[in-house]
Every structure is written in C-alpha cells, then in structure tokens.
Amino acid sequence: MGEFVFAISSKDNSELWLSTDDSPLHVQLLARVGKTGTEWTAPGEFEKYASQISSPFRLFAERRYFFEVIHKQNHKGTDHVEVAWQLLDQNYGFVIIDSQHISLYVNESSFSMNDVAHIPQTLASHATSAKKDLSATVDMLREDLQDTFYQGESDSNFPLLRYQGLQFVRLSYVYPNDYTRLTHMETENSCFYPESQYYMNMYKFSRYMRLDPPEKRNLDRGTFFFFFFWTEVLFGLQNSIKTEMVAEDEKQSKGNATGEDRAKDEWDPVWIPDVDFEGPDDGDLTPPPEYDAEVNWDQTFQIANLDFQAFRSDWIDLHCNVSGNLLLRSSEALPLVRAFMEQLNRKRFTLVRVINVVKRADGVQGNRYLLELMLKDVNGQLLRLSHYIYALFRQSRSRNRGHGFRKTKTETLLCNPVGLHWNPDTTVHFIVPVKNQARWVQTLIRDMETLFRITGDTNFNLIITDYGSTDMDVRKALQESSLPRFQYLKLSGDFERSAGLQAGVNHIKDDHSIVFLCDLHIHFPESIIDTIRKHCVEGYKAFAPIVMRLDCGATPQDAKGYWEVNGFGLLGIFKSDLNAVGGMNTKEFKNRWGGEDWELLDRSVLFFFKSCLIA
C-alpha cells in the first residue's frame, strides 16, 4: 500500500484514466498530454506540462486496477506513449511501468479487427464528459503556492565595463516545478531541445528510443487499450512501430543479402550520431524516413526518464527566452528539507507541504537555499515558514587501516546565514513616473487596490511622479481610491524616467524601507509585496523580477509572449543600499530612457559582496 504519482508522455495528445478498483465504471482522468492537438513531449519527458503528472493516488498491494490510455497522433514525427509512476515524496524519478505488472482486460489474440463488443464503454471514450476538462491552457496560470519567476544572483569585486553586470548574474534553481517554461510558445522557439532544427525536422525523437530485437522482445507485451496491473513494484508498458530509414539504392543492395543478414538488418535500431546537422530545413540533401505500410504491433522499445533540465546551466541564455526556471531535483531538495525539519522539530512542528525551495549554487563552499514550507504546530495551527539556510560543504577524513591513508568524505552542514533575514513588516514603496498615460495609470491604481483588498497589507505605498499629465487628474484619482497609502509628486518638463524615479526615492524618509522602481503596463501577482520583501535583504540582496512580455493582442489570461530575461527595469532594493550605490543616473539619462536599468545593475553588482538579483 502506498501513495503513488502517475505520469504520461506522448506525441501527440494522450490521456491516462485509472479506476479505483477493477471496474471500468469507476475510471477517472489522472494525467494527460494536452487537449488541443498541438501539445507533445519527447519520449520519457514527464515534466513538460503540469497536466502530465497526477495527484497522489493510493494503491493497495495484491489488488487489481483497471486503467485505460488514449493516444492521438498526427501524420508527423515519431509516435510514442509511455506511462510511469513513483512513490510520493521519494528521491528517485519516474520509472516506466514494467509489463510484469500488467495483464490483459480481455485476451484479444483470437479476435478479429471487427470484434469490438468486449471493449468497455467508459468516461474516457466520451469526449462530451465534463470531467475531461482539468486545467487552464497555459500551465503557469494554474493556481499554485509558487507564483514567482526566480532568476539568479551575482558577485564581483572588480571594475566592470558598461553593461557588463549582466554577465555576472546567475539563474537560481527552484523546486517543485513551477511550470514557467513556456511550452505553448515552443513552436516559435524550440531552443529547449538540444537538437538542431534540421535534425528535428528529419528524425524527430528517434535518438531517444531503442527498438527491442526479436530475441529480447517480450511477446506478452503489445499495444492494447485496456489493462489491469498489479501494485507490488514499479511497472512500464512500451510500444512502437518499426521504422526503416534507408534510401532506395540501399534497399536494392539488401536484396542480395542472406536471410540471416536481412533479419539482422531488419531489427537493428536506427541510431543517429550525436552531431549537429547543418542543412536546409526542407531536407533536400537527405531522404526522409520511410515507414512500414504494415504496422508491427509486437514491436517494443526502451526509453529512459528524459530530463532536459540536466543540459541547462545557470548562465542567462539571451537566445532562449521561453525555458523558464532551472529545476532543482527532488533528490537534493527533499533530503535538505528533512534535515532542516529534524532541527526544527525540537520545537515540535510537523511538515505539511514543501511550497518552494530556491537554490543559489556555489560549487566550492556550499549552496544557499530559501525554504518555504507549510507547517503545523502542536495545536494544529497551519503556519508558513520562509527561511534562508546555507548548506556548507565540509570535508571529513578517515584513516584506511590497510593502506595508511585517509579517505575524504563530503558532509553537508546546515547553517543560518549571518544577516540574511527578511522582515515581513517592511514597508514597500512602488515608484512609478508617468506622463499622459491615463488608461494605464487607472489600471495601476486598480491593481494596487486589488492587492490591498486581497492581502489586507497596509505596509506598502504607491508613489506616482507626474510630469504634468493633461489627459487625467492623477492626484484626484489617487484621492478617490481605496489605497491605504499613496503620494503624488508633480514634476515639470519633459518625461525623464531616471529623474522621475529618483524624485520618488528622495521623497521617502525611512532609509530602512524597500524601494521598488516600477513602471506602467505591468500585471502584478497577488503575492508581489511579500515576494519583494523575501528577496530584498538590506546590505545583501536586491530583487529584479523578470517579466513576461506579452505579444500584441495577448492578455495575462492568454499569456503568449516570452520572458524578458535581459531586462532589469523593475528593481527592489532597500533605500539605504540604493543611496550607497549612488541612486539613479540622472545626468547621462536625462532626456531619454533605455539602458538606465543595466547601468544601475553594473553599480549594484559592484556594491553588493553577494548581490542577489532574483527574478
């Protein structure tokens, strides 16, 4: 008995339905790959879409469970579908379901193709069922306790050239998957996959699949639509059609081969070497793959759990603006949380859920983490803990009796970083310079009112510096709003973003409050105020949220666009730190805007010994 999580991957769409017992009448939709016909995954890629992974499902040993897999494939690419599972909150990844734990619902070996009476009619077979609609189209719009897109941090103690600070910014790792990867935009930018576009057009995902030869093929495995499985150990079903990629002249040369050679050639899987293909996208130089007219339903293949995240680095890739956050492996995050809870349990807290873990990597001394956990105290009250810890790498040595030398073992020691604490009551000042932007100023005020209504947080302040707007009375709009705190500054002359921001900064009296240099045309998540507080630490960290730039005509509810990975126009920083950096550059950026954010980033990198620019 145990809590299991199921996952499915396929090209193109697929659905996994599972019953609570051995009856087809009790099936429920657990996981799927898309529903619009445009979604797909590579073989064994189980974390591309949020819908691919099920909620925990309790299974009991020695019981039979009916399940059904529906798969839809278009005429392009390599078709595949795989189902995997893992025990809840375990450190290992998904494991493909093995056939030793699957049995046929009905033995179809003696049936004709027109024998269909034995096929059960379930909810999965009826597209009109309301239960098939699970979630929003874009994964990152789903409700989740994680709702912030994190970037990285930097450190430097030597002079920088103009706009060189971006090179010292590093991405952070997050757990669990926050689905900031813009999978719905990958038809325009497929940089997440390492293959060249020419390779993808020609061979799709054949390099990730190994066809089984006849002597290793389990004849009990095939392509069936209805199965039972046993719940003792991990299982996997694999199926494929056989493909041949040979030119016409190669076919003719094989015609003279012996029967043994032909059989060997027929079952040798086609492997494409790991090289970059360069050539025209239409594939004129290489003949396209040819598929058997007759499908071999006994052909099986092997795949592994595919993790493209392992190929990514923490450098900002300006050519790939759809990949989203780096993902932290559960094998690293969960042991860290358990070790932290062992220390915390001296105060008798119980872990309810891991909300978020953010890692700042340091491969030499150790890694810094922000843990966000949902806990329950001895009285049953739910608490949310957000705490910075440092995992220090410590080398311990032991003497080997046989050889007389010492073996080195790396141990992880959890520490509290000195001074790295955030204050949930710190005042956050939003500063926005404007001129003749009535529609967007009104939207900004409404968004700030919404934040106050939902959070009840009174420790934030909206400061609007107005360069003599004539299309609306900004002061009156603020006075008629329900905002708990606001300030209006009237400026004269042409619009200057740097000067407008600095005027707002100068108006703040408390040097130990947070300044958030802001702009119009921004949709704010409900957690933005606390997010700014958590990632701004006086003397240590500044916060630069990466925003998604929407395409023309798109809306936050229909989020089509890309991550602005090289923009730092939005910046959260303590006023004392901003003063130490030198404030906004109002001399060089007097009659223009654009570039002032990168110039401020340069000085911030030089100022902070461990400057954290998180987005």
Query: What CA–CA distance (Å, rounded) separates 179 from 51?
Result: 10
> What is the C-alpha separation between 232 and 450, in angstroms, rounded?
51
Question: CA distances (Å), 301 to each of 68, 265, 268, 306, 578, in order?
Answer: 20, 16, 12, 15, 59
Q: So what's the pLDDT on residue 150?
A: 35
Q: Which of 20-29, 180-189, 367-376, 569-578 has the lowest mean pLDDT?
A: 180-189
Q: 3-class SS at 285?
A: coil
CATH 3.40.1710 fits 330-415, yes or no: no
**Which among 85, 32, 81, 26 is positioned nearest to 57, based on CA atoms?**
85
Buried b (16+ CB within 10 A) or exposed e, 28-44: ebbbbbbbeeebbbbbb
Average pLDDT over residues 466-482: 95
Residue 313 has pLDDT above 90, yes or no: no
Most confident among 70-74, 191-195, 424-428 (mean pLDDT): 424-428
What value does the mean pLDDT of the chain take? 77
pLDDT for the residue numbered 402: 54
Q: Average the pLDDT over 376-384 and give the result.
A: 90
SS3 per-residue string spanning 216-283: HCCCCCCCCCEEEECCCCCCCCCCCCCEECCCHHHHHHHCCCCHHHHHHHHHCCCCCCCCCCCCCCCC
- Of the listed ranges 193-207, 215-229, 408-422, 587-601, the one predicted with least confidence: 215-229
Q: Residue 397: CB partners within 8 Å, gap ≥ 6?
A: 406, 407, 408, 409
**Measured distance CA(317)–CA(468) in Å, rounded:** 40
Q: What is the mean pLDDT of residues 384-392?
A: 90
Cα–Cα distance between 551 and 562 in angstroms, integer? Answer: 8
What is the reported pLDDT for 280?
38
Residue 267 pLDDT > 60, yes or no?
no
pTM: 0.69
pLDDT at 253 > cutoff 90: no
pLDDT value, residue 172? 84
> Is the pLDDT assigned to residue 251 strictly greater than 80?
no
Report the percentage of the chain scoring pLDDT > 70. Answer: 71
Distance CA 339, CA 362 (A): 19
Res 149: pLDDT? 34
Four-residue CA torsion sign, 556, 562, 567, 568: positive
pLDDT mean over 565-577: 88
Higher pLDDT, 278 or 55: 55
Asked if the bond preceding 362 is cis, omega within 30° of 0, the reply is no
Q: How many helices (H) and strands (E) does the chain have?
A: 10, 28
Model confidence at 228: pLDDT above 50: no
* Spatial distance between the Cα atoms of 540 and 419, rounded to a whole number of angstroms: 8
The confidence score (pLDDT) of residue 40 equals 87
For residue 229, pLDDT beyond 60: no
| Mean pLDDT, range 560-581, rounded to an integer | 88
Residue 264 above 70 pLDDT?
Answer: no
Contact present, 101 and 64 (Cβ < 8 Å): no
How would you class 116 by CB atoms within 10 Å of its CB: exposed for 0-12, middle for 13-18, buried for 19 or more?
A: exposed
Kindly state the DSSP code that residue 336 receives in the 8-state scheme: H
- Least confident residue range of 311-320, 374-383, 392-401, 499-508: 392-401
Distances (CA, A) of 579 to 328, 460, 514, 573, 605: 35, 20, 12, 10, 14
Residue of 568, 585, 588, 428 whose CA lies nearest to 502: 585
Q: What is the pLDDT of residue 199?
A: 58
Domain ranges of the chain: 2-136+204-229, 165-175+426-614, 330-415
Q: Give the span between the Cα atoms of 16 and 9, in whole angstroms.
A: 10
> Which residue stretches of 432-589 are H helix?
438-455, 474-479, 497-506, 528-534, 575-581
Residue 257's identity, in one-letter code, is A
**pLDDT given at position 164:** 65
Q: How many degrees, rounded to 5, is the angle at CA 589 between CA 587 and CA 594?
A: 165
- Amino acid 560: pLDDT: 86
What pLDDT score was predicted for residue 8?
A: 95
Please state which of the four CATH numbers 1.10.10.10, 1.10.3720.10, 3.90.550.10, 3.40.50.300 is assigned to the domain occupying 165-175+426-614.
Answer: 3.90.550.10
- Per-residue confidence band for 281, with pLDDT thresholds at 50, 70 and 90: very low
Q: Point out the least confidently predicted range of 186-195, 502-511, 564-573.
A: 186-195
Residues 134-179 pLDDT 10s: 455 666 666 655 554 333 344 444 556 666 666 677 788 899 888 8
**Residue pair 526/148 in contact by the 8 Å Cβ criterion:** no
pLDDT band with cut points at 50, 70 and 90 for residue 302: confident
Strands (E) across 78-147 are located at: 80-87, 95-96, 102-104
The pLDDT of residue 194: 63
Q: Give the model confidence (pLDDT) of 391-403 as tens digits.
A: 887 665 555 555 5
Of residues 285 and 467, the one with the higher pLDDT is 467
Per-residue model confidence as pLDDT tens digits over 199-227:
555 556 666 777 777 765 554 443 333 44
- What's the burial of 158, exposed, middle or buried (CB within 10 Å: 0-12/13-18/19+)? exposed
- The torsion angle over the Cα atoms of residues 452, 455, 457 and 463, rounded to 10 degrees, is -40
User: Do the strands 514-517 and 428-434 form a parallel or antiparallel pair, or are they unpaired?
Assistant: parallel
Higher pLDDT, 34 or 146: 34
- Please tell me the distance from the alpha carbon of residue 202 to that of residue 195, in angstroms, as a whole number: 11
Q: What percent of the chain has pLDDT over 90?
A: 30
Q: What is the four-CA torsion angle of 104, 109, 112, 118, rounded to 10 degrees?
A: -20
Q: Provide the pLDDT for residue 239.
A: 33
Higher pLDDT, residue 158 or 572: 572
